[in-house]
Amino acid sequence: MIDNPNEVPSEALRSKVVSIPELAVEYEEAKGVEGRKEPEKVAESQDNTASQQDATSEDEEEGKAAYRPGGFHPVYIGDIFNDRYKVLNKIGYGLYSTVWLVKDLQAAIDGDASNVYLALKVLRADCYGHGTDTFEREILRCLRDGSREHPGYPYVCHLIDDFKHQGPNGTHLCFIFELMGETLRSFGTWFPLDGRIPYEIIHRFTIQLVLALWYAHDHGVIHTDIKPNNIFVKFRDWSFIESGYLKEIPFPQQDREETEYSPVPSQPLRWFYFDYNAKYSADFDVTLGDWGVSSWTTKHLTEVIQPVALRAPEVIIGAPWDASTDWWNFGAVLLEVFRCVRMFDGGVPPDGHYEPREHLIEIIDLLGPFPKKLLEKGNQDLVPDLFDDEGRIKDAETLNRPGLMSEAFTPGMSQILREYFVSFMNLLMKIDPEERPSALDLLRHPFLGAVQ
């Protein structure tokens, strides 16, 4: 048995993980179940992450006010960055960047579309060199230059090139990535079961994401921001860029003489990366991307991390956190993308605003009380006022929610699949971070069965 994956040679790691395309699907998948309880739909949450988006954006997207000294760089169709990357269209935006489809003029001679068409991410000028820098460039380089023999390497969205670009609003760090089709935020809408991704595909995605996090953690990186928007579906047919996207998608009309830059709408590649008729194939692959707010295991960017509703218990109570916090975050996301059900929201009436106390009540309701040793590590200005001696929230009303084994949380599943899935979730989402599993523990679990 392998107790410490960090001590295992890379060749051994590869031999222990079943080849993803050859994974056997051994469990039942409930298809077209009639009369089941309608699941609670996951509402689209606001995304402030600098990543490729999944739907046509509002007219102003990031807004004109973002184009100021220290802010965004005004990009025009036809601009050439770093003497080689020609801008073709805008494909996304976020709080810290805009993202553009570009053509690599140096690679165009080869004719391979996967090398010719790439994604350019242009960061705001104040992201680096102003005393509050992220670790994004350094982390991306570390992940790119790490062990290519590690089984998780292919499932990280890797940096291809990086450079600086001088503009009217300052110096901007720019990243070049492989193009991705869309994110898991929208991927489920290709399938008829209320936007739920079929088991065969989610099984494959889960293995790939476990491997991606294993790779990151082995290289001293904690993602800290795992959500559907940051999980990217890879291209399956590059020919659709030229035969479809570049022919059918309108290019924005821009005036280079304008006194104030006008943001243009994003035109994502969602419809142009695979054959729609083959959508039921299990051969899709994903990568874990957007490492913009990631931390080193030895140095944290910030102590308040993760999307609020996906936040780990130790983060909520102000206790120390480490790489294991990614596993909790991943578990909450997995239920959301697999079953379109959100585990927690922390909302309170009448307006549904978020309160940590409510979030903690929801966690305890599903997963049990907080251990004393964890509470002792939390913020002592907060913990004693919230928790009783049994690790529960003082004066909390009983929620009377059904458990994870119920149709409400795991709708449409056969009994054996539900048992495996819930067991897997309980392994991922231990309240005590010290009890959370290793990557190999997860890969061995019957829900995945990915290790021989």
Q: What is the pLDDT of residue 158?
A: 97
213-227 pLDDT per residue, tens: 999 999 999 999 999
365-381 pLDDT per residue, tens: 999 999 999 999 999 99
What is the count of structural domains for the chain? 1
Mean pLDDT along residues 238-255:
94
- Say which CATH number the domain at 236 has: 1.10.510.10
Compute CA distances 239 → 52, 71, 90, whole Å: 20, 35, 19
In a domain, 449, yes or no: no
The yes-or-no verdict on residue 68 having pLDDT over 90 is yes
In a domain, 452, yes or no: no
168-193 pLDDT per residue, tens: 999 999 999 999 999 999 999 998 87
Mean pLDDT along residues 387-410:
94
Buried b / exposed e along 393-423 (16+ C-beta atoms within 10 A): beebeeeeeeebeeebbbbbbeeebbbbbbe
| Cα-Cα-Cα-Cα dihedral sign, residues 394, 399, 402, 404 | negative
In a domain, 113, yes or no: yes
Q: How far apart are CA 231 and CA 175, in angstroms?
A: 18
Cα–chain-centroid distance for residue 271? 20
Domain range for 12: 5-444
Q: Which value, to the nearest 10 degrees, does the dihedral of the CA atoms of residues 310, 315, 321, 323 take?
A: 10
Q: Is 247 marked within a binding site?
A: no
Q: Name the phi and psi angles at 420, rounded to 5.
A: -65, -45
Strand segments, DSSP code E, in 94-179 are 97-104, 117-123, 159-167, 170-178
Interhelix angle 199-218/325-339, rounded to 10 degrees, is 160
Q: How confident is the model at residue 90 (pLDDT cuts 50, 70, 90)?
A: very high
Q: How confident is the model at residue 60 (pLDDT cuts 50, 70, 90)?
A: low
Mean pLDDT along residues 118-139:
89
Q: What is the DSSP string of 181-208?
A: EEEHHHHGGGSTTTTPPPHHHHHHHHHH
Amino acid (one-letter) located at 304: V
The conformation of residue 92, written as its DSSP 8-state character, comes to E
Q: What is the pLDDT of residue 17?
A: 39
Instruction: Please give the structure tokens belonging to residue 128.
Output: 């680096």
In a domain, 450, yes or no: no
What would you measure as the largest C-alpha separation in the chain, in angstroms?
69
More confident residue, 25 or 350: 350
